[in-house]
Structure 1
Amino acid sequence: MRGKFITLEGGEGAGKSTQARLLTSWLHDRGFETVETREPGGTPGADAIRALLLDGDTPFTPTAEAHLFAAARADHVETLIRPALAAGRWVVCDRFVDSTLAYQGAAGKLGVDLVRSINETAIGDTWPDLTILLRTDTDTGTRRAIARDGAETDRFTNRDFAFHRAVGKAFDNFAEREPVRFAVVDGTKSIEQVAGAIRSAVETRLL
């Protein structure tokens, strides 16, 4: 039986990495074989592209960024995600294609449709079974990410608040258009409350 593919999305500082780890642990405790991963990255090839993408000293146009993300994603899907799902494992991924649609497509002004077409080639039919959108106050989340990472902030965290607001609005639009795939969770609550809401969504939608 094919495994399930769950992605966590949201703006900077939304708590995606923490919640991905907690969700993976919870699924494992329930007896599921699980794989926790992230984007960009997750495989040696994708991690090499991640280093290029997040290096704030290397300039890329939005078009170049979109294609680099798609290249990393293609390797990630073909090497890790698709084989894991075929083996019956549940894959939990911190960011996936919706992030590229929001960051490069909407906020980067390439256009969501164009970026979607680039990524459809990269992922084929490997779309998430469930996408958890952690909704937070965009400005607060961005400040939290900057405070957390300090001098290590990447090219995306360092963009202005208008950019991050456009990202947040794009995520909201995606969730509104695809209510079957998206479950929206209030990311401003405590870590335990957010984890509980995510578990409830998974139980309702997938179990």
Structure 2
Amino acid sequence: MKEKYEQKIRLFYISFLLLTNSLLLSNPMQINRGFLFSIEGTEGCGKSTLITKLAQKLSDVQLNVVTTREPGATELGKSLRTLLMNKTAPTCTLAEFLLFAADRAQHFHEIIMPSLNKNQIVICDRMADSSLVYQGYVKGLDQSKMAFINQWAMQDQQPDIVFYLQIDSESALARVTQRNKHHNEESVAFEKEILEKKQQLIDGFDTILQGRSNVFVIDATAPADEIAEQAFQVVMCYLENNNE
């Protein structure tokens, strides 16, 4: 009896999603302003997969979506990303953060603000919260000063929603190891450093994102399609209620 009941619930849920998507396709939403969503979490949490799937779902209902990342979305950012990831020269924590901030400033100037001004939906792989965790919580920089610089670099713009993909350290490490093995790659210097501090980073995200009204926490160990559907439903609900 219980299995039949659960099967009926699943079929009802699938039917509801199909009906919802059908209505959205026949009545595409008119976006009246730009929206900014960021995806946060430690290495191996599935950010890239979520961004790809979420962008496709939004595009399927005829919404204009821009996907981007920090660092490395602009030409300047690509050079900064190479410098940050490989660390060919000794770099103090403050200099490291300011390099990320420089990338962020160019990113907002060149990609994010112009996209928002065109009433587009922007989904970004990492943003200011990653700096607060990596260089602030873990490496000890003054987070209030960092927040001021981030606000300046981001032209006072904040994400409408931060999706935090929460994962345990063992699962994250296993995913990164498998990813590098699959692509026949070794971890770059920056990645090796953060993998050594994986639990600190997870604690940092848990602490910094805790209790914030614009943060939506998702279990990153769930199936990728389920995660994407959760994020999609949250975004659509947010658009319905904030499309001024």
Tell me, yes or no, whether TM beats 0.5.
yes
Shorter-normalised TM-score: what interval?
over 0.9
- Aligned partner (choices 225, 228, 234) of residue 195 of structure 1: 228
TM-score, scaled to structure 1:
0.92
- Aligned partner (choices 61, 64, 84) of residue 92 of structure 2: 61
Distance (whole Å) between structure 1 residues aligned to residue 234 and residue 204 of structure 2: 21
Cα drift, residue 205 of structure 1: 2.7
Cα drift, residue 162 of structure 1: 6.1
Q: Deviations over 1:57-76 (max 9, x none)?
A: 33311111100000000000
Q: Which has the larger radius of gyration?
A: 2
Q: One-letter code of the match for 1:55?
A: N
Counterpart of 2:178? 147
Is 2:206 the partner of 1:172?
A: yes
Q: Deviations over 1:64-104 (max 9, x none)?
A: 11000000000000000000000011001111111111101
Instruction: Return 99-108 or 196-205, whichever deviates more.
Output: 196-205
TM-score, scaled to structure 2:
0.79
Determine if contact 1:84/1:90 at 8 Å carries over to the other structure: yes
Counterpart of 1:106? 137
* RMSD between aligned residues: 1.7
Instruction: Return 145-154 or 30-39, whichever deviates more.
Output: 145-154
Distance (whole Å) between structure 1 residues aligned to residue 177 and residue 136 of structure 2: 23
Cα drift, residue 138 of structure 1: 2.0
**Within 5 A, what are the aligned runs for 1:4-153?**
4-150=35-181, 151-153=185-187
With over 3 angstroms needed to count, the CA separation of the structure-2 counterparts of 1:84 and 1:62, relative to structure 1, is same
Distance (whole Å) between structure 2 residues aligned to residue 199 and residue 121 of structure 1: 30
Distance (whole Å) between structure 2 residues aligned to residue 176 and residue 98 of structure 1: 12
Q: One-letter code of the match for 1:15?
A: G
Q: Deviations over 1:111-140 (max 9, x none)?
A: 322321221221121211111000011232
Determine if contact 2:165/2:217 at 8 Å carries over to the other structure: yes
Counterpart of 1:157? 191
Determine if contact 1:175/1:184 at 8 Å carries over to the other structure: no
With over 3 angstroms needed to count, the CA separation of the structure-2 counterparts of 1:124 and 1:175, relative to structure 1, is same
Q: Deviations over 1:2-34 (max 9, x none)?
A: 211011000010000111111111111111111
Percent identical among aligned pairs is 33
Aligned residues: 206
Structure 2 unaligned spans of 5+: 1-31
Instruction: Return 189-198 or 98-107, whichever deviates more.
Output: 189-198
Distance (whole Å) between structure 1 residues aligned to residue 174 and residue 141 of structure 2: 26
Determine if contact 1:13/1:142 at 8 Å carries over to the other structure: yes
With over 3 angstroms needed to count, the CA separation of the structure-2 counterparts of 1:58 and 1:17, relative to structure 1, is farther
Following superposition, which runs of at least 4 residues in structure 1 exceed 4 angstroms of deviation? Answer: none
